[in-house]
Amino acid sequence: MNKNSPQERPGKPDGVRAQNRQAKMRTISEACLELFLKTGIEAVTIDQIVSEAGMAKGTFYRYFQDKEAAVEFLLKDIAEKVDEALVQCLNEVDNAKSRDALLGAYQSLAQKLAVILYGAPKVGRLYLQESRGPDRGAIRPIAKLSRLILDRSIELTKVAQKHGLQRAVQHEVSARAVVGAVEALILASLDGSLTVPPSKTWSTLISLVVDGLKAER
């Protein structure tokens, strides 16, 4: 049973009971998100969450087993979309035959990630703020997504190198450098400390990555 599944039967997917359930889960998760962004996930208590949400403590536990389950629920949508975008990019890179094709695959990925993260900016900020935290407790869902992104990025590097489109440097070092740069830029853009338009930021970064790691002829 999924940790964020409620303890009660949800009823028909489009029924009143299911709609009420979703509304309660959204109310709780929105309260979690506001508190997590202010003080960090580990510092927030269930008592603070239910106070922020304006509900009884028992209501929280009716819908979420614990704080980790609430974090998992918050991340679920963007985690699925990010993985889908990375898998699609991996397929495009595997079929790439030139530097331009590789550039196009990375540009397409950047656009998809921008849509995902700017569509849910607070969740994106939460992930980026907590993604370097310890893999324990309520932060586990974020650590899981962080590992997924790194693993997919390593796969991308390996495939690009296999086709001779990127320099043969150590996969994990290259992937970590790129992921770190991308995440730092996204966070700076989301919190307003980066004044460069997102489209220009991504095109510059992708060009730096592709040119900096291009295969030697």
The per-residue pLDDT for range 111-139, each reduced to its tens digit, is 888 788 889 999 999 999 999 888 999 99
Q: Read off the pLDDT band of 52 (50, 70, 90).
A: very high
Note whether 58 and 79 are same-domain residues: no
pLDDT band at 17 (very low <50, low <70, confident <90, very high): confident
pLDDT tens-digit map of 96-107: 888 888 888 888
pLDDT, averaged across the chain: 84
Domain match, 130 and 180 both: yes
- For residues 26 and 96, state if they share a domain: no
Kindly state whether residue 11 falls inside one of the protein's structural domains. no
134 in the Ramachandran plot: left (φ > 0), alpha (ψ -120 to 50) or beta? beta
The packing angle between helices 99-119 and 67-94, to 10°, is: 160
Query: Computed over its alpha carbons, how large is the radius of gyration of the chain?
Result: 20
Name the nearest CA neighbour of 20 among 52, 45, 55, 72: 55
pTM of the model: 0.82
What's the gap between Cα 45 and its chain centre?
23
Domain identity same for 79 and 61 = no
Residues of the domain holding 179: 74-212
Residues 106 and 34 in one domain: no
pLDDT average, residue stretch 138-158? 93
Asked if 105 and 90 count as a contact pair (C-beta separation under 8 A), the reply is: no
| 200 in the same domain as 109 | yes
The DSSP symbol for 4 reads T
User: Are the CB atoms for 156 and 67 separated by under 8 Å?
Assistant: no
Residue type, 149: I
Give SS3 for 177.
helix
- Residue 130 CB contacts under 8 Å (≥ 6 apart), including other chains: 36, 40, 41, 139, 142
Burial of 7 (0-12, 13-18, 19+ CB in 10 A): exposed
- Among 197, 23, 40, smallest CA distance to 118 is for 197
Last residue of a domain, one of 8, 36, 65: 65
Which of helix, strand or coil describes residue 207?
Answer: helix
In CATH, what number is assigned to the domain containing residue 178? 1.10.357
Residues 51 and 89 both lie in one domain: no
Q: What is the pLDDT of residue 170?
A: 80
Confidence category of residue 162, pLDDT binned at 50, 70, 90: confident
Q: Could you report how far apart the first and last alpha carbons of the chain are, in Å?
A: 53
Neighbours of 91 (CB within 10 A): 12
